[in-house]
Chains A and B, each alone.
Chain A
């Protein structure tokens, strides 16, 4: 394998990290999903050098509070014992896991072995061998595997190379990837990451040269492993570069292309540079390091253990003394460590297990310690499976002819509002993925970039435009004034010559926000709403463009782009001349000057083709709209008994001073609010021409009304009310009042779990409080997905912990609908759940740490201070409260209400969902109503619950 292949392989474990502006919950171990969950965590734990389960004491608390059921825990312990061939009572193992394991290290390490001394001494060799104390070469290999060469030089020889090299990489990459935050941008970014880097450093070589030089000079034993190790240190940055590389039409990637190979080479270049510059020792390569290790084994191992925080203060103190005798110190340490382990095992075996062979006892305890996290996690999931499964098995009948129906997003936060609404009057609610069956790229009125309103793993089918349906001059005038004022202040603030003068003259203007937001947030928010330009009413260009239109728009777009690019080069050309240039682009006979200018702005035939393709993808034909509408209604099982009003309720959130705001929006809409999706789908469903072509017959007097659920305040706002005839106004007003009552009740419910909230008012204020760490709990505490009829779960209080998707298997003879649910909402829920799981168990690596230290970088992410890894997961405050995990880390439990055979048939016809089920990244529970039984998929078998 050549060097480039090795580097490419090393990058495969990286997930993609979407920019913060469209935060997408994703599984940071996405690339490990082809392995079984347990094995994947074992491997990832080694690569990332972190624990991927909670501390045992956490699970014990859940057990003691009754969340983890005793019978389930014992069943899983039995499974563990059977699969490992132990003949030990499950009760004893349970006792060990509950009472002894959480305090394992402090457990009777001074236990007096008395008469059993000889018996337990037989353990010594095994423990020493397991801990590799008898094979220091192997131990050394194991320990250094987690560090880059520069870091090893720092650890062993007390230098400071790594941090400086790290900072330099962050400096370059953050400036290169910047998306408009920097006042002075890095020049030559349009040349691409590698060429820009060469100009930045004033060098000239290619990517492979760096790899070869690094290989020759530092001589890592396995470059692939080495690069993987380095990428763990730059996990966030590398994941974002991967996203950019894999999303070629991301606007900033189009402008300033970045790629992983260049990024890896840049890291290696800087590491080499700083080692050459700052290394004060004679250790120049791994060969030298191994040579040094040969003569100083104990010293090197002790220093590495010290760095890994594996030494107790007693030994740290001894190491830090002048000229310590490392050999005797190491001997003392290993003896001490081994004796303590023997004492603990002897104590547990003598008191609890009473196994004759101490080696067997040791093997058992070691295995329990290795697997207890998995056993506990499995027990949480299965406890919920039993509790909720039995609740869902009970069916309730709904009365016919509901007052109105409301279709909500599948999102967990809709659950309480739906339940409260249903309890006010005869409402029927449905759950569906928040893009409401319409996966589009939308160009908002007054914006120029596309919003991808569909799940992040999918590509939008079509493009639509939001167009004003009212006069916009008033709006534009007001907006221009505010924009100019804002930009002027920003420029005065950021210009190197003017900040002092600005502070003196206009400093008080900034006090408006400072004092207003701090002391009178409510009034300020109201006032700001008043002075803000009110956008005009809008419509969508849902109809498909004709071929002539496509040709005309593409030409117009391109000609303007050509004029603009010439203007940037201080060259003005007329519309007609630009048209000629376009013809020459298409015929391939540009002159040198034109070629230079157009190449610089990436205007070429390929781009023309792409734009034309995008225009031809604009909107839907009437038949396509009818199909979309049919599919949507079929998906949720709404095929008859239509009430007068059907509300399509998307959701969005509202918070202030929160870089993670889009994480609280709709995941199914690519981290955006569901506002556009519900409006577009309502327009389609209200279109009488579309209704005529639909296979599902919607009564003429049925009206679809779009609405938006604000998940921070739980208020619901309705749109496009003008479609309601006067005859139905009264009913509509009554329904609106019911929604209001449901909102109040939902808020009252949420007060109980929101920190520092005593009443409803406190919930409302959170959306405008700029010091609020948790405007809402968002998707934290999610635990399950329910796919089935609302009747089965409407009487369960699910506390905003379940994704609820409507599905009626009797209306899905060929499993098409179920397969669509598995390929869509199921995957979204798994990504969200996995993001929460890993942000909870290892917040430092897969989460983003405390919000208190976050700085926004480049407008695409956050990092700590000025130089750290890009933080890709959820903040500590999102999943923890007062140092206790708020989110219960467990795999998502998916309840599917369908006959067993049917569900299996549907799942086996999918790719990714089937892999997730097979490898147990999700736990599947089948509610087989025909047999009136629950089945849990466990180790490849469906076991009756």
Chain B
């Protein structure tokens, strides 16, 4: 069964990699991320942890997208470059979600997936997870380049998220982070 899921996963990752090349829509990227990552849920042992990491990541991503959509009336990540300089608070959460998506430590996404990877030995699942990690990293580098860095857009009035958003974003980030650390300590 795992083999079929992994094969499906690899197919979805390859498809996602090609689709990502010309994707600038936040939602489209999220769909690709979900598409490529969801098969992991069926092969991984730590389903609860993985589910939590997945939902906190997607949740945080959606909250950020919602804020950007509401503030800048856009659903694409073009034209809002330079967040690091012009909107530092928002840029922190964007960095966090991208790190989570790209399976960077010490977030839960990293702990669960890498622990799984180390335990399975060499199999088709390994190939799937490795290609998936590559895809996740591609999202990270593409969005980092397009949103966080670069010269701020002169035709845009940058705004910071209000307290409501900050609380929500902090909650999701901290949940993922704390669970990640706890998971690592429990190993």
Q: Which residues of A contact B (CB under 8 A)?
A: 105-106, 309-314, 316-317, 320, 883
- Contact assessment for B157 and A106 in the assembled complex, using a CB-CB cutoff below 8 Å: yes
Proximity string of chain B (78-90) to chain A, C-beta cutoff 8 Å, 1 when within and 0 when not: 1110000100000
Smallest CB-CB A-B distances: 5 pairs? A313-B74, A313-B79, A317-B74, A106-B157, A314-B73
- CB of A320 within 8 A of CB of B157, answer no
Query: Can you name 5 A-B pairs with beta carbons within 8 Å?
Result: A310-B155, A313-B153, A316-B76, A316-B79, A317-B79
Choose from B24, B73, B74, B155 the contact partner of A309 (Cβ within 8 Å).
B155
Residues of B within 8 A of A312 (CB): 72, 74, 79, 153, 155-156
Chain A minimum-CB-distance residue to B23? A320
Q: Is the CB of A320 within 8 A of B153?
A: no
B76 touches A317 (CB 8 A): yes
Residue contact B72 to A313, C-beta cutoff 8 Å: yes
Known: A309-B155, A317-B74. 14 other contacts (CB 8 A): A105-B154, A106-B157, A312-B72, A312-B153, A312-B156, A313-B74, A313-B76, A313-B78, A313-B156, A314-B72, A316-B74, A317-B73, A317-B75, A320-B25
B179 to chain A, nearest CB (A): 33
CB-CB nearest in chain A for B156: A312
Interchain nearest-CB distance for B42 vs A (Å) = 33
Give bound CA distance, A310 to B76, whole Å.
16
* Chain A min CB distance to B160 (Å): 13
A320 to B77, CA, bound (A): 11
**B contact residues around A317 at 8 Å (CB):** 73-76, 78-79
Which chain A positions have C-beta within 8 A of B76?
313, 316-317, 320
Q: Point out the residues of chain A lying under 8 angstroms from B85, CB to CB.
A: 883
Closest to A309 in B: B153
Residue of chain B at shortest CB distance from A314: B73
Q: Which residues of A contact B25 (CB under 8 A)?
A: 320
A311-B75 CB under 8 A given contacts A320-B24, A320-B25, A883-B85: no
Establish whether residues B78 and A316, one from each chain, have CB atoms under 8 Å apart when the complex forms. Answer: yes
Residue of A nearest to B79 (CB): A313
Q: Do residues B79 and A309 form an inter-chain contact, with CB atoms below 8 A?
A: yes
Q: Are A313 and B73 in contact (CB under 8 A)?
A: yes
**Docked complex Cα distance between A270 and B5 (Å):** 49
Q: How far is the CB of B73 from chain A (nearest CB, A)?
A: 4
- CB-contacts of B34-83 with A (<8 A): 72-76, 78-80
Rounded to whole Å, the gap between the CB of A476 and the closest CB of chain B is 52
Q: Mark B residues whose CB is within 8 Å of A.
A: 24-25, 72-76, 78-80, 85, 153-157
Report Cα–Cα, A883/B75, bound state, in Å: 29
Shortest CB-to-CB span from A304 to chain B, Å, is 14
**Which partner residue on chain B sits nearest A104 by CB separation?**
B154
Q: How far is the CB of A105 from chain B (nearest CB, A)?
A: 7
B154 close to A313 (CB less than 8 A): no
Inter-chain contact total with CB atoms closer than 8 Å? 44
Shortest distance from the beta carbon of A344 to any chain B beta carbon, whole Å: 12
Contact A311:B79 (CB < 8 A) given known A320-B24, A883-B85: yes
Residues of B within 8 A of A311 (CB): 79, 155
Of the residues A106, A320, A883, contact of B78 by C-beta under 8 Å? A320
Provide the residues of chain B in CB contact with A105, threshold 8 Å: 154-155, 157
Alpha-carbon separation in the docked complex, A223 to B187 (Å):
70
Q: A316 CA to B155 CA in the complex, in Å?
A: 12
- Measured in the bound complex, the distance between the Cα atoms of B154 and A311 in whole Å is 9
- How many angstroms between the C-alpha atoms of A310 and B157 in the bound complex? 13
Known: A316-B78, A316-B79. A309 touches B72 (CB 8 A): no
CA distance A311 to B80 in the complex (A): 11
Taking CB atoms, residues of chain A closer than 8 Å to B154 are 105, 309
Nearest CB to that of A55 among chain B residues? B154
The distance from the CB of A838 to the nearest CB of chain B, in whole angstroms, is 18
Residues of chain B lying within 8 A (CB to CB) of residue A316: 74, 76, 78-79
List, in ascending order, chain B residues with CB within 8 A of A309's CB. Answer: 79, 153-155
- With both chains docked as a complex, state the minimum distance between the C-beta of B152 and any C-beta of chain A, in angstroms: 10
B157: A residues at CB distance < 8 A: 105-106
- B71 and chain A: residue at smallest CB distance: A313
User: Which of A310, A320, A883 has the largest number of chain B CB atoms within 10 A?
Assistant: A320
Chain B proximity of A335: nearest CB distance (Å): 15
Nearest opposing residue in chain A for B24, CB measure: A320
User: Within the assembled complex, what's the spacing in Å between the Cα atoms of A316 and B75?
Assistant: 9
Taken together as a complex, chains A and B put the C-alpha atoms of A85 and B50 apart, in Å, by 71
Question: In the complex, what's the smallest C-beta–C-beta distance from B102 to chain A, in angstroms?
Answer: 22
Closest to A318 in B: B74
- Bound Cα distance from A314 to B156, whole angstroms: 10
Q: Which residues of A contact B75 (CB under 8 A)?
A: 317
The residues of B that contact A883 with a CB separation of less than 8 Å are 85
Q: How far is the CB of B88 from chain A (nearest CB, A)?
A: 12
CB distance from A853 to the nearest CB of B (A): 13
> What's the least CB distance linking A471 to chain B, in Å?
59
A316–chain B nearest beta-carbon distance, Å = 4
Q: Could you tell me the distance between the alpha carbons of A106 and B75 in the complex, rounded to whole angstroms? A: 21
Chain A hits for B156, CB < 8 A = 312-313
Most interface-central of B76, B79, B85 (chain A CB within 10 A): B79
A312–B158 Cα distance when bound, in Å, is: 11
Q: How far is the CA of A105 from the CA of B154 in the complex (A)?
A: 8
Q: Which residues of A contact B72 (CB under 8 A)?
A: 312-314
Shortest CB distance A451–B (Å): 40
| Chain A contacts for B80, CB-based, 8 A | 313
Distance of A314 Cα from B76 Cα, bound (Å): 9
Task: Provide the bound-state CA to CA distance between A106 and B159, in Å.
Answer: 11
Which residue of chain A lies nearest to B26 when distances are taken between CB atoms in the complex? A317
Q: How far is B156's CA from A106's CA once the two chains are assembled, in angstroms?
A: 8
Closest B residue to A337 by CB, please name it. Answer: B155
Which residue of chain A has the shortest Cβ distance to B155 in the bound complex? A312
A883 to B153: give the CA distance in the assembly, Å: 16
Residues of chain B within 8 A (CB-CB) of A106 are 157
Report A497 CB to chain B, min CB distance, Å: 33
- A320–B76 Cα gap in the complex (Å)? 8
- Complex-state Cα separation, A237 to B25, whole angstroms: 38
The residue in chain B whose Cβ has the minimal distance to the Cβ of A310 is B155
In the assembled complex, the CB of A53 is this many whole angstroms from the nearest CB of chain B, namely: 14
Question: In the bound complex, how far is the Cα of B153 from the Cα of A317, in angstroms?
Answer: 14
Q: Which single residue of chain A is at the shortest CB-CB distance from B78?
A: A316
| In the complex, chain A residues whose CB is within 8 Å of the CB of B155 | 105, 309-312
Query: Which residues of chain B come closer than 8 Å to A313, judged between CB atoms?
Result: 72-74, 76, 78-80, 153, 156
Contacts of A314 in B (CB 8 A): 72-74
The complex places the Cα of A310 from the Cα of B153 at a distance, in Å, of: 8
Residues of chain A within 8 A (CB-CB) of B78 are 313, 316-317, 320
Rounded to whole angstroms, the CA-CA distance of A310 and B155 in the bound complex is 6
Bound CA–CA A309/B146 (angstroms):
13
CB distance from B96 to the nearest CB of A (A): 21
- Shortest beta-carbon distance from A461 to chain B in Å: 48
CB A783 to nearest CB in B, in angstroms, measures: 27
CA distance A314 to B74 in the complex (A): 5
In the assembled complex, the Cα of A320 lies from the Cα of B157 at a distance in Å of: 21
Give bound CA distance, A832 to B97, whole Å. 46
Distance in angstroms between the alpha carbons of A309 and B153 in the assembled complex: 7
Q: CA–CA, A314 to B80, complex, Å?
A: 10
Contacts of B73 in A (CB 8 A): 313-314, 317
Q: Give B75's nearest chain A residue, CB to CB.
A: A317
Q: For B79, what are the chain A residues with a Cβ–Cβ distance below 8 Å?
A: 309, 311-313, 316-317
Residue in chain B with minimal CB distance to A106: B157
Most buried by B among A105, A106, A314, A883: A314
* Distance between Cα atoms of A432 and B24 in the complex (Å): 59
Minimal beta-carbon separation of A99 from chain B (angstroms)? 17
**A385 to B: closest C-beta gap in Å:** 32
Q: How far is the CA of A833 from the CA of B73 in the complex (A)?
A: 44
- Closest-CB distance, B75 to chain A (whole angstroms): 5
In the bound complex, how far is the Cα of B73 from the Cα of A312, in angstroms? 9
In the complex, what's the smallest C-beta–C-beta distance from B180 to chain A, in angstroms?
31
> Which residue of the partner chain A has the closest CB to B81?
A309
Docked pose: A314 CA to B68 CA in angstroms = 10
Smallest Cβ distance from B119 to chain A, in angstroms? Answer: 34
Q: Give chain B nearest CB distance to A492 CB in angstroms.
A: 35
**How far is the CB of A586 from the nearest CB of chain B, in Å?**
62
